[in-house]
Amino acid sequence: MAAGRSAATKIDWTRITSSLGLKGSTATSLQAFKKRNDDARRKLAALQNEQQTVDFSKYRSTLNNSSVVDEIETHFKGWKPVTYDVGRQLKAIEAFEGQAVKSAEETKGRVDEEVKALEKTLGNIETARPFDELTVDEVAAAQPEIDKRTEQLVSKGRWQVPGYKEKFGDLSVL
């Protein structure tokens, strides 16, 4: 039991969260578990600091009916702490741990995919030519819908893009 206590006090909760990169519900669940652990540890420390012996002779001298004190003393001395099977709780903890690891792996996979996509986008941005150096054909090849929209407007006899004058003003004065 002492080895379990010393191991429990050595847990570095912030290091666990940061080293595993836990976020979202996994981190929230771990923080809730940490809070329950801290509360239980505080309660245990408070109970261990309380006086654990009973002075039955003081009660015998104070009370007129010492037979009641004798009966309580026999019950007190005959009392044995109840042991609990913690197997169920351990299974729940193992299930939580498995769920946390699974969730962390899924999160890591999603983050890795997003990082790869962002690195690819960054590479495209860094290697892209400046906009003023692009030709109309290159823009049309990159975004075919621009070419299709232009063809639609020209086929309907519209030579101006709707909303252009409102946004950029009328340049015919120049």
pLDDT tens-digit map of 27-72: 888 888 888 888 988 898 888 887 778 888 888 888 888 888 888 8
* Low-confidence residues of the chain: pLDDT under 70: 1-9, 171-174
Q: CA 97, 103, 108, 111: dihedral to nearest 10 degrees?
A: -150
- Inter-residue contact 69 to 63 (CB < 8 Å): yes
How far is Cα 104 from Cα 27, in angstroms, rounded to an integer?
Answer: 9
Residue with tokens 């570095």: 12
Reference 14, options 36, 34, 38, 29; nearest CA is 34
Among 79, 56, 78, 80, residue whose Cα is nearest residue 69: 56
| pLDDT for residue 108 | 92
d(CA 8, CA 39): 13
Residue 4: per-residue pLDDT: 52
Are 100 and 22 in contact, with CB atoms under 8 Å apart?
yes
pLDDT given for residue 66 in this prediction: 83
Collapsing DSSP to helix, strand or coil, 86 comes out as: coil
Q: Is the pTM of this model over 0.85?
A: no
Find out whether 2 and 69 touch, Cβ atoms under 8 Å.
Answer: no
Pull the structure tokens for residue 74. 């026999």
Please report the beta strands in 17-126, taking only residues with DSSP state E, as ranges in sequence order: none
pLDDT at site 1: 46
Which residues are within 8 A (CB) of 41 and not within 5 positions of it... i.e. 6 or more apart? Answer: 8, 9
The Cα 121–Cα 108 span in angstroms is: 20
